[in-house]
Each structure stands twice: as C-alpha cells, then as structure tokens.
Chain A
Amino acid sequence: MNTNILNFIVTLILALVFSVFLPWWSVMLAAFVSAVLFSLKGLKVFLIPFLAVFLFWTGYAFVLSNNNNFTLAKKIAILLPLDGNPYILILVTGIVGGFAAGMAGIFGKQCRVLVKK
C-alpha cells in the first residue's frame, strides 16, 4: 500500500480511537503520530492528515446534525456568523479539524527528519 493511503488510514483510525478518551486535540496527536510513522512528501505532509480529519469531522457532524434536522447547526451558524447555513458550519468544522491535523502532521514530519538525520 502506498504511504499516502497508509498515512490517511492510520490518521483516521488513530483520530477515531484517541477521540474516545482525549479532548478535541486528539486529532492533532493522531496526525502527529501518523506523520512520524509514515513519512509523506511535499504538500501531502499537510494535505493527507487534513483530508483524513476533514472527512472525520464533517462526516460525524453531518450525521449528528442530519438526525436532528440541523436544529442546532442552524442556530450556531447565526452565532458564528455563517448566514445561518448549517452546511457552511459543517464545512468550517471540517476545515478547523483538518487544519489542526495538517499542522500537527508537518510538525510530526519535522520531528522525524530531526531524529532520523
């Protein structure tokens, strides 16, 4: 399996597992560990963990909100403010999680470079 897919899957699985007992930054930890284990190159260092967590957070948020007719999402999307659009809120949620993971991925990669010489 190529490293890209491997990193993606491991990030996703670790993020799911860590989230059971750790706060929101579990996704950063997942991306960091995955980056240390499976080295990526170039833009992908950021993009792969970004996509993994983006998928996780948007997917889960959508399922939760869809089951409840987006009742709360519509309100939070006024609060933030995102024009009351729950889909934009889901997108923002994914980007926030993905961005945090992506940065942690870059940091993981740099750690690996430092240690492995």
Chain B
Amino acid sequence: MKYLKFTISLLVTAIVFYGLNTKFGSVPPIGKFLNPVSGIWQNEKDESINGNVAINGLKDKVTVHYDEQLIPHIFAENESDLYRAQGYITAKHRLWQMEFQTFAAAGRLSEIIGEAALNYDRRQRRLGMGFGAEQAIEKIKEDPETMAFLEAYAEGVNSYINELQPKDIPVEYKLLDYTPETWSVKKTALLLMYMTKDLAGSDNDLEYTNALRIFGKERFDLLYPDFFDEIDPIIPKNTDWSYIDVPMTEAPASELPLDTISKTLDKPHPDNGSNNWAISGQKSYSGNPILANDPHLGLNLPSIWFVMQLSTPTHNTFGATLPGALGIISGFNKHIAWGETNATRDVLDWYKIEFQDENHIQYKYDNEWRTAHLRIEEIKIKDKAPFIDSVRYTHHGPVTYDKNFMGDNKLAGYAMKWSGHIGGNNQRTFLELNRGKNYDDYVNALKHYTAPAQNFVFASTEGDIAIWVQGKLPNKWKGQGKFLMDGSNPQHDWQGFIPQEYNAHTKNPERGFVSSANQHPVDESYPFYVFNDGYETYRNRVINDFFNSRDTFSIQDFRDLQNNNYNLKAAELLPYIYNTMDTSSLTEEELQIFNEIKSWNFYNDIEELGPSIWSAWWGTLHSLLWDEYKVDDVALKTPYDYQTVHMLKTKGDDAFMDIMVTPETETARDLFLISFKKAANTLMAWKTENGSYNWNAYKATYVGHLLQGLPAFSRFNLPIGGGRNIVNATKKNHGASWRMIVEMSNPPTALGIYPGGQSGNPGSKYYDNFIDDWAAGNYHTLNYMQSDSGTDAIIGTQTLISD
C-alpha cells in the first residue's frame, strides 16, 4: 500500500512540476511565469535610471540623464563610447523588440513561436534577407570606422544582456519561454534589411505581367500610366535637367515573357510612406528654416522608434533612433536637421529563369548554361525538427519562386533582382548626418546611401533647405522592370546605375519650401526612366497647396498640417457623384445616409459621419468597378486610386464600368448608385450592431503589440482622425509613427511625439504614455540639453563607467 501511495504521489508531483514548468500552445509555463520571485511580477516596475553601471570597453565616463518622458540624453567623451552607450541604453529599454525584429528579418521566428511562423520564415529566406544582410556587412567592412562603431554598439547591447538576471528579462521572453541571445553586427544589418523590405520590398511586376497579357497593351497603358494627367512632383516641375548629359540606356528590341502567375508573396503594407517638408527663412515666421517629418508605418508597441539625445564634445544630436541601428535616423543637431520619406522607386525586378533540368543546377544565360549556386536555409522550429529550404541564386539574385515554393513549372523559376541585395553602407550616411554641419556634409553623407531609397529633407541654421531623392537607383531603359523579364537575355539585366550626382534633388528652390509625400519624384522632363510603382497623389498636393497659399508659416501651422484631415480624394470624386447619380430610387433610410455624406466638409475628423460613409462607399465602388480583376488563380493588382477616380469621372461608359455578372451594361452612374445602396446597407447593419458610425468608432484605430497584436499589450479605439491618402495618414493600425518639427534657431528647438512610449516593458508607465497626446495631436517639447550639467528637468541620472 505504502509503495503504491509513494508511486502515485511521486507521479502526481512529477506531473505537477512538468505541467507548471512547460509551455502548452500559447499558454506560458504557468509556475515559472507567475512565481513572484523570478516570473512576471518582477517586471511590474519602471526601469531603474539612477546610479553607476560598469560597462566593459568604455574609454571614458558616460553620463545618461533621463527627462520626464524617459528620453535618455547620453553625454560621452568620444563616438566609440557614445555608440557603445547607445547599444546598452537601447537594450535596457527595448531588448525584446530589438531581438524579435531581427529574428523576423532573418526568417527565424519559428525558433520562438513554432511551426505557425514557418511560412513567414520561408518567405524571408526566399527573399534573401540573410543574404542581403551579409552583402551589407561585406560593404561595411571597407569602412573600419563604421564597423568599429557597430561593434561597440553590439558590445554595449551584450553588456546589458550579460548583466540581466533571469528575473529581469522582458515579459515577452517569459511569455514565450526563451532567453535572449548575443547581439552582433549582423543583427544590425538584419534590422536594416527589415526596413528595406518594408519600404523597398514592394513591386507589382508579376501582377502587371498578368494584366498586360489579359487586357493588352493599350488597355494596360490606360490603367497604369507612368504619369497621371496631373502630378505635383517632389522636385518642382520645370526644373532644368540640362546638366545631365550622359547617354540613356537603350531599350532592347526583345520580347518579354508573358507567363501566368497565380499567386505572389504578400507585400509590405501599401501605405508605408511618410511626409516631410522644410520651409526657408523667408517663409518662416521667425526667419529660421523649419523642418518636419512624419514616417507612416504600422502602429506597434513597442514603437519602431526610440527617441534619444546622443552627444560628444564634437556633436550633439537629438531625434528618433531605430532600436538596433546606430545614431539618429530622423532628427537634428546644432547645425542641421533631416528626415526621410520613402522614395517608392522601382528597385525590385523579376526575371524568368530557365533551368537545364529538374535539378536546377544550371540556368540559361546568354545562350550558355550557368551554375546557380545553392544557399541552404535551415529553419529551426521550436519543438520540431528543422525545415530545410534550399534556395538557388543566379547572378540576378535568389530564385524566389520555383517548383519548391509557389511555382508549378518544373523547369522554370522567377529570380529577383533587388537593390536590397546590393550591399550598402547605410549606417555611414546616418553617422555623417549625425555630425554634419552644413549642406555639403549632408550631400556627402547621402553618397553612401543605397536602399531603401529615401527622400532626405534637409534644413540648416545657415539657412539652407534641400531635398534629395537618394538611393542606388538602376538606370533603366524605358519600360524596364515594369513586367517580368527574360533572365537569359543580358540586355534585360540592369545595365548600370544612375550616377549619384544625377539623383533628383533641389536646393533652396524659388518657391521657398521643399516637400515630399511619396509622390512622383520628378515630372517627365527628368531624363532617366522613372516608372510609377505606386506613387501617392493626394497628400503631396494638400501639403504643397498649403505652402503655396501664404507667405509665412509658424510652428502652429506645421502642427496643424501634420494633423490635417482633409480628404482630397473624396473631395475630388464626391461632388461629381452628387451631380450625376440618380437618387430617385433611394429609400428613406438610404436618403438619410446620402444627406449625411452630402453635408460632409471632406475632413476626416473623429466626430464626422461622412468619412465612414465615404470609406464604405469607396470600398464597394472600387470592388464593383474592378470586378474584372476577380480572376481565379491569377495574381493581379487593381489600378491606383488616382486613375480609378479619373476613369470614373472621364470614362464613365468604358467597358470596365460594366458589372460582369449582370445582364445589363452598367456605366459609372449606375455603379455610384448600386455601390451606394450596398454601402448604406453595410452601414445600417454596422449601426445596429455597434451604434453610431462616426469616424472614430468606425475606423477604431489601435496600436498593436508586435507579437501578433496581443490585445493585453495593445491599445484600442484611439480617438484620432485622418486616414488613407490624408496628410494625417492614420488608418486603423497604420499611420504617423513619429512626428517631429524642428525650428533651426540657435540652438534648434524641436517638438516630437510618437504613438508609444520609451519603455518596452508593458509593466512600465512609460510603455504607452505618449499615445493619448499623440492621438489628440499634441506634441512634447524635446529637451535639447546643451551640456551634461544636470537641470531640474531630469528625473534620473545614470553614470556608465569602465569595468
């Protein structure tokens, strides 16, 4: 009996231990997780920001003051110490995020999350994210100074990881039951690849190929023009390009492969973009240039940005950093300010690869067989055997689609050519901007910058303003890279790059301001081929109209513009609809909704009903108009909104207007009515379920935790207006991820805010404390400290000393 009791109690104890020490599905190991000595209860606090910390490798003492927003102000004696401290301090507040993003970039999420992430990881490997990071490191090795700072940064991160007690590791590690690994320069390169994919990883070549085959060239050119009938480019129209006297690349007379592609990889968020602008002293209320930047990205917690001041005796820089990368990315120092928007240039092309046989070892090129080398990708999976996915690399780049991945042709594949694989030393650009003093320093800094191509806005205390469209941009023949190309034809290769000095730019333009909002960089007069790969057409015009409307502007005007909710797209279509749509058949309820939108002033403010009605209506109208695109097993991309509106207004009886499933032949007028009735139905159903469909409730903006938007760590129903194609580009889960306004006084004064908080710890009050002010359109004054002598605005000071 006693043996039985012993055995049973032993077994039960073992089961209890195992049960509480093991992660089951998404349930964390509950004993480990909940125990107050080393579990999550230890994360129930703000980070300590006082006292002395010993850090390996420091040459001198580093002082870190924290202001009331938990922004660290780092004062180091030299740059090596500065970047070491940046690594340490960033890790202290954002370690889990830094690591998670680089795991995502590398296609290693399966190691943390398990098999659910396998498809995501495979896509990352197929896109050559690791390959691109390695290429970048090779390039950076040519620059020992940058490499040394990257290593100092990595060692700073590792100093923090090494001093971490198990009880202090961030909550997410405890939730997913794993521990941080060593940081390395490669991880920084991977983070930059993550940004490159987000901003320059989108293209529609394969979708366009399908559209060209289905609709023919004439229709294609109508649907996807390189330039719309009205554009307002970044570099003002009528700029004199006569100094560009190099010969352009000749278009070859060869055929393009018109394959049918059934499905393509998921694309980055189509709205990834930004606004930036700067006004000259003449246009400024104070005589000082003023600069603004607001990057539009997914709204996540912890935020993509971490704000810091980075100071040495020779430079003093302030602004938004990317956790994992060196220096300030969007910010200012005593002399200059800068910020970026995405240049949206077509730097990703696809080539059809013809293999010799099913082994995929040799591929055809210039009538010979070349070897495609193999890169073995081993994807480790939590609690399972690893998955091996081997990717063939041609001289173009990785064969992303083949018989093993989304392809069905045993002898063919599609290889990608991407500026993300070229290898660039982008860090150098930011290091030089951080210590830049004038326009020449800014121009020299940009020369190192490869991808993702950005529009770098600039202003200086000397009174200059400028904008450069910078990236390593292929010099294409007309039409190159719009469609799938022939990978065996040398003439289809990228023939070279646009010489850096000919990248489009403008300095101190006559109009007194520079701006960009992801629109066309130039008009047709620019000699190099620029293809419309999804340029924005609304925010840019609102911004430029604003700065053309008056002589001088104040900081308040800048704030108002960043928060401007004017919906130009609606304003360009709705009046036309009101004039043409037959409303006689509307029911009483429909008529009420119609009157609601008719009384709307086209501002996407939170209390308005109009934006919700517009949103539902536009979505339905778009879907009815482009019903021709709902073809099974063919990947297609519908035309851009500008052209959609243009066609509705000018080609109302085009064959595309017809709804294919009905016997009648519809025109644009019919579509307006049918889509309105459908949308009205949707809205009435929505109202029954959720109450008023004011824009606040209907849009329901949220900032989601990086881990699949875990509701517990996210913030929902934020009262903020704006929307797609609006200067305040805040959509449901995407929008202004950082807002900055800098006046180039001496020293500069600046405002900044982002939807998050400085701490990555959900247990800290600094985790999400900026969100309410951000939603309300408020800003925080950035406390630009001129020396390390403490002021009363400091809530804590940490001194980092050599170990």
Contact = CB atoms under 8 A, between A and B. Distances in A.
Interface of A: 19, 23-28, 57, 60-61, 64-65, 67-73, 75-76, 78-79, 89, 92-93, 96-97, 99-100, 103-104, 106-107, 109-111, 113-114
A93 B46 CA distance: 22
Contacts of B550: none
A100 B20 contact: yes
Contact of B43 (A72, A111, A114): A72
Interface residues of B, number: 41
A106 B16 CA distance: 12
A96 B21 CA distance: 11
Contacts of A109: 9
B13 A106 contact: yes
A110 B10 contact: yes
A44 to B, nearest CB: 15
10 contacts: A19-B35, A28-B13, A60-B41, A68-B44, A71-B765, A96-B30, A100-B17, A100-B31, A104-B13, A107-B12
A28 B13 CA distance: 9
Interface string B1-29: 01101100110110011001100000000
A109 B6 CA distance: 9
Contacts of B5: 110, 113
B612 to A, nearest CB: 28
Given A24-B32, A71-B764, A99-B16, A76 B40 contact: yes
Contact of A75 (B6, B16, B32, B713): B713
B45 A103 contact: no
B17 A60 contact: no
B44 A113 contact: no
Interface string B96-139: 00000000000000000000000000000000000000000000
Contacts of A60: 36-37, 41
B712 A75 contact: yes
Contact of B17 (A28, A64, A110): A28
B13 A65 contact: no
Interface string B703-741: 000000011110000000000000000000000000000
Interface of B: 2-3, 5-6, 9-10, 12-13, 16-17, 20-21, 30-32, 34-46, 166, 171, 175, 710-713, 761-765, 767
A67 B41 CA distance: 11
Contacts of A65: 41, 44
A86 to B, nearest CB: 10
B762 A72 contact: yes
Contacts of B765: 68-69, 71
Contact of A64 (B31, B42, B175, B761): B42
B86 to A, nearest CB: 27
A71 B6 CA distance: 43
Contacts of B9: 103, 106-107, 109-110
A61 B41 CA distance: 6
A64 B765 CA distance: 14
A30 B367 CA distance: 77
A64 B16 contact: no
Among A27, A65, A73, A93, max chain B CB count under 10 A is at A93
Q: Which 9 A-B pairs have the closest CB atoms?
A: A72-B763, A24-B35, A79-B712, A78-B712, A60-B36, A107-B13, A61-B36, A19-B37, A110-B9
A96 B2 contact: no
Contacts of A75: 712-713, 762-763
Nearest to B1: A113
Given A64-B45, A103-B12, 11 more contacts: A24-B20, A24-B37, A24-B39, A27-B35, A68-B46, A68-B765, A71-B767, A75-B762, A79-B712, A103-B9, A107-B12
A68 B30 contact: no
A71 B713 CA distance: 11
B6 A110 contact: yes
A79 B13 contact: no
Contacts of A76: 40, 712
Contacts of A79: 175, 710-713
A71 B765 CA distance: 7
B40 A72 contact: yes
Given A97-B31, A107-B10, A110-B10, A25 B41 contact: no
B16 A72 contact: no
B13 A103 contact: yes
Nearest to B31: A24
Among A70, A89, A99, A106, max chain B CB count under 10 A is at A106
Among B40, B42, B43, max chain A CB count under 10 A is at B40
A107 B36 CA distance: 24
Given A64-B44, A72-B763, A110-B10, A78 B16 contact: no
A79 B712 CA distance: 5
A16 to B, nearest CB: 9
A50 B710 CA distance: 33
A72 B34 contact: no
